Amino acid sequence: MKKTAALLYPRSTAARQAVSLDGMWKFRLDTQGSGIVDGWKDGIGPADTIPVPASFQDFFTDKNSREYTGDFWYETEFFVPPERKGKSVYIRFGSVTHRGTVFVNGAEIARHEGGFLPFAADIAKRANYGGSNRLVVKGNNELSETNLPVGRTTSLPDGRKAAKPYFDFFNYSGIQRPVRLLALPKTAITDLSLIPRLNGDKAELEYAVETLVETGEEMEARLSVLDEEGRIVVEAQGAKGVLAIPNPRLWKVRDAYLYRVWARLYRNGELLDEWYEDSGLRTVEIRGTELLLNGESVYLKGFGKHEDADLIGRGYSLAHIKRDFELMKWIGANSFRTSHYPYAEEVYLMADREGFLVIDEAPAVGLFDTTNNALDTVRGKKKVPFFDKETLPELLETHLKAVQDMIARDKNHPSVIAWSLFNEPEDTSETAIPYFKAVFDAALDSDPQKRPRTFAVIMFSRPDTSKGCQFSDFICLNRYYGWYVLGGCDIDIAEQALRSELDGWKAQHLNKPFMFTEYGADTDSGLHKLPSVQWSQEYQIEALEMNHRVFDAYDFIKGEQVWAFADFQTGEGIHRLDGNKKGIFTRQRQPKAAAFYLKNRRESLPENYKSRSNI
């Protein structure tokens, strides 16, 4: 996406104002698909009201609203003060899922594809200064094989559309993250890149400020780095440079120290723009089978998560973000993966503050459709591997953009230690190779810090069949031995099967760290059973114990992220009991019995568990 001052995280400073437009907005499902023809861009007519931000699905009491697929419209009014005239004025959406078209006072001013990243609409030419303005957003939540996440949309006999996700989470949608009105200077900072470097007990911060400057303007960029007490530790002039940080305090796992980096733009001594990022001094590196943070080996203890909660669906909720971090601290975790899409920006800000390590995941989930292919096979059609599909070139374009935009948004967070570029793709065909190469190259090109890249490997991809693993800097395995494979009474055989798979990986001599990014068992928080059965709380503990026994036996396993942090909503079906119940916590964020077991284990493992010096 083109860099604009409005895409930077919205902060009010001496030169910028960010005003929240969140609240109750008018809302209408476009059940007849007539919104455009009927001119809803000028006002959506008789409508409901719902909270923004939130997913719209779980407020209503009828199934048609919950399962609705198609266009949906939001409307609100906002005031632009007269003194904003002559400034850049934008509306910034944290996300509109999965796509949105924005109209201000009847004129279309922006379109955006992709439901988990921000975009901004320039309203300067359309705004009514000193008066009221009408903001209308047409959202759409259809799924396809050319957009992310991947799925399809079918038509029901009565004409309704139905979303068919190729992924295991509810297709929540709407305006799910905060909306802000921004007033920004015309000559503005459009980007700031920070690269921390460590050398012995010395630390450096390389920086680059990018600006949007009207032609011929003489600008001066300045940078100030402040410590947590607000004292200036170093200052610099110029748009690029390398700063030595005196007496550096490093950003460490669960012991974060943040420097505030102010970028300022001046003309003849007059301040035109200012903006800051909180940065941490830390390095991330893969060396052999070790993941090194600040040159020290670290073992990931954590979770795969979802943005998911009662009533708000995937809606932004600071309260849930706070509670989740408290639970992760309580249980002795140090990391999580933003499965299966980039989360709200505020999640990363809290991870920066709390010293959590984040594997930041692109919304590339569902690049696998065995089930549909299986039906085709029954119907006598040839099975088409996912990466052989005709839709691939278009999907790749969407995917590359999603990766580039995710990295542009999240590149400065000290908490982000790696990019996960896919979840469980069907990576066993030769045709996956060029696709993977393009996506992995794009991530490397986009990231000033050149962080490690990876993807979560599905059960069906094995040491001898995965074509994608050659691109990963470290290997992330999603494995359900003891659940989908050899569950319940067969758990002993599952253990053997897991060991034999790991022996297979070992024999490949990849010399890379491995992490388990998913393992676990569905568990009903009300079910106890002695002896255990699948779904009981006792069995969840047994499944975790079995996995951990195996992980402990292999030195190259350098991390364990249980699936999942909390129970979450999925589409209904015979395999899901009102959602996925693999949570260690319930959807209401209370512990299942396994949480206490896991707390014990996690607290007993040192942060540098299995480091060479520790073996």
By C-beta, is 395 or 477 nearer to ligand BDP? 477
How far apart are CB 601 and ligand BDP at their closest, in Å? 21
Whether 172 and 57 have beta carbons less than 8 Å apart is answered as yes
By C-beta, is 283 or 523 nearer to ligand BDP? 523
The count of chain residues that interact with ligand BDP, using the rule CB under 6 A, is 9
Q: What span, in angstroms and rounded, lies between the C-alpha atoms of 468 and 367? A: 13
Q: Taking the mean position of all CA atoms in its chain, how far away is CA 163? A: 21
Member of 75, 145, 427, 518 binding ligand BDP (CB under 6 A) = 518
By C-beta, is 43 or 165 nearer to ligand BDP? 165
Q: Residue 537: which H helix or E strand, with range?
A: helix 537-552
Whether 77 sits among the annotated catalytic residues: the reply is no
Whether 384 and 440 have beta carbons less than 8 Å apart is answered as no
Provide CB contacts within 8 A for 100, sequence distance 6+. Answer: 93, 110, 111, 112, 119, 137, 138, 139, 140, 175
Whether 488 and 534 have beta carbons less than 8 Å apart is answered as yes
By C-beta, is 460 or 596 nearer to ligand BDP? 460
Q: What span, in angstroms and rounded, lies between the C-alpha atoms of 476 and 492? A: 23
Q: What span, in angstroms and rounded, lies between the C-alpha atoms of 127 and 29? A: 26
Whether 440 and 452 have beta carbons less than 8 Å apart is answered as no
How far apart are CB 570 and ligand BDP at their closest, in Å? 7
Residues 531-570 that bind ligand BDP (CB under 6 A): 563
The residue nearest ligand BDP at its CB is 168
How far apart are CB 520 and ligand BDP at their closest, in Å? 7
Burial (0-12, 13-18, 19+ Cβ within 10 Å), 43: middle
478 is a site residue for ligand BDP (CB under 6 A): yes
User: Could you give phi then psi for residue 93, rounded to 5 degrees?
Assistant: -105, 125
How far apart are CB 146 and ligand BDP at their closest, in Å? 21
Member of 582, 587, 592, 610 binding ligand BDP (CB under 6 A) = 582
Q: What span, in angstroms and rounded, lies between the C-alpha atoms of 57 and 160? A: 16
Residues 313-352 that bind ligand BDP (CB under 6 A): 340
**Where does 331-467 have alpha helices with state H?**
345-354, 370-378, 392-410, 432-446
4 is a site residue for ligand BDP (CB under 6 A): no
Tokens of 397: 């374009």
Q: What span, in angstroms and rounded, lies between the C-alpha atoms of 71 and 320? A: 28
How far apart are CB 457 and ligand BDP at their closest, in Å? 10
Residues 379-398 that bind ligand BDP (CB under 6 A): none
Which member of 145, 274, 495, 518 is catalytic? 518
By C-beta, is 87 or 340 nearer to ligand BDP? 340
How far apart are CB 458 and ligand BDP at their closest, in Å? 6
How far apart are CB 478 and ligand BDP at their closest, in Å? 5
Which member of 145, 274, 424, 501 is catalytic? 424
Q: Taking the mean position of all CA atoms in its chain, how far away is CA 249? A: 28
Residues 408-437 that bind ligand BDP (CB under 6 A): 423-424
454 is a site residue for ligand BDP (CB under 6 A): no
By C-beta, is 254 or 462 nearer to ligand BDP? 462
Member of 168, 191, 308, 560 binding ligand BDP (CB under 6 A) = 168
Whether 210 sits among the annotated catalytic residues: the reply is no
Whether 538 and 523 have beta carbons less than 8 Å apart is answered as no
Catalytic residue numbers, as ranges: 424, 518
Binding site residues, ligand BDP, CB under 6 A: 168, 340, 423-424, 478, 518, 563, 580, 582
